[in-house]
Amino acid sequence: MFRGTVTLALAGFLFILFPAIIEEPGLVVHPNELPAIATVEPTATPVATPTATPPPTATPLPDALTSMKNSVAADELWIDVYLSARQLSLYRGQELLRGYTVAIGAPDTPTPVDRWRISEKITNPGPGTQFGTRWMRIDALDPATGKYRWTDYGIHGTDEPDKIGLEVSNGCVRLVNAQVEELFSLVPMYTQVITRE
């Protein structure tokens, strides 16, 4: 019985599409024997024309340089180390004061991308070191606590000036001695530093 009901319903549907006699073995259905199907006349409902919605425009997050420029006082000294350009720049607020070519970390000991501050300044850190004539330790900012943590990284001179512009250090930023001496004399303790790609 169930099969016959399904067959009748299917036959009625097919008959609407194909107005002819639809047969199944043992069952013959003629168009006049099909149950009446209520029809609903479509109403004229205005359809809104779809408009192209432009994709949402994401506000780009400020890069490290923009973020630093926006966070320092107008007269505050700060340092930007642009690693891929091998460039260290000294700023006062938004004003660029000095630019130096630097050596950075080797591929297996890269200079970390971070936000720092100078926490120690040493004149003539010692003969036989790779620190040249000046050493400035930089401590990294911990974004979770907002505090700086001690590191072994620094900005310093070099006894190998021919390697300036290369990736050769253990992660520190190296300058020619005359330039690190100038920078050392200009920046106070706790000067902020960023290192960025």
- At 149-189, the pLDDT tens digits run 999 999 999 999 999 999 999 999 999 999 999 999 999 99
Structure tokens that stand for 96 in this block? 């660029």
Query: Domains (ranges, CATH) in the chain?
Result: 2-33 (no CATH), 64-196 (2.40.440.10)
Alpha-carbon span 64 to 51, nearest angstrom: 38
Q: What is the pLDDT of residue 128?
A: 72
Read off the pTM.
0.68
Q: What is the pLDDT of residues 106-144, one digit of tens each?
A: 999 999 999 999 999 999 997 777 899 999 999 999 999
Please report the pLDDT score of residue 169 as a whole number.
Answer: 96
Q: Over the range 120-133, which residues count as b (16 or more CB within 10 Å of their CB) and which as e?
A: ebeeebeeeebbbb
Q: What is the pLDDT of residues 29-88, one digit of tens each?
A: 444 554 554 554 555 555 555 444 444 443 344 577 788 888 888 899 999 999 999 999
What is the reported pLDDT for 24? 45
- Which amino acid appears at position 164 of this protein? I
User: Of residues 117 and 10, which shows the higher confidence score?
Assistant: 117
**Burial bucket for residue 177 (CB in 10 Å: 0-12, 13-18, 19+):** middle
